[in-house]
Amino acid sequence: MAVGSKNLTPEQLRGLEDGPLADALAEAKKELFNLRFQSATGQLESHGRLRAVRKDIARIYTEMRERELGIGRESNENEKVG
């Protein structure tokens, strides 16, 4: 993630509770909206940032879905121990 968000690695997302995870999603969506607006008006300097923010949103959605289904690293670690 050279251009992407440095604080949204999958490992760090797994460490967040549901509330902060939803807050991170809202913040990323807001940033994506602003970047799209800048792109439409010709003010966007870093087009790679659009892609990075979209990937961050996808990572957050993936983590939320894994929690909903009860899959992911935490459940796999519990299966190995037990």
pLDDT band of 2, cuts 50, 70, 90: very low
| H helix intervals, 1-82 | 10-15, 18-41, 48-69, 73-81
Taking the alpha carbons of 55, 34, 12, 61 in that order, is the dihedral positive or negative?
negative
Question: Whole-angstrom Cα distance, residue 9 to residue 33?
Answer: 21
Q: What does the chain come to in residues? A: 82
pLDDT at position 33 is 96
For residue range 24-77, list pLDDT tens digits in order.
999 999 999 999 999 999 999 999 999 999 999 999 999 999 999 998 765 555
Closest by CA to 68, choosing from 36, 4, 21, 11, is: 21
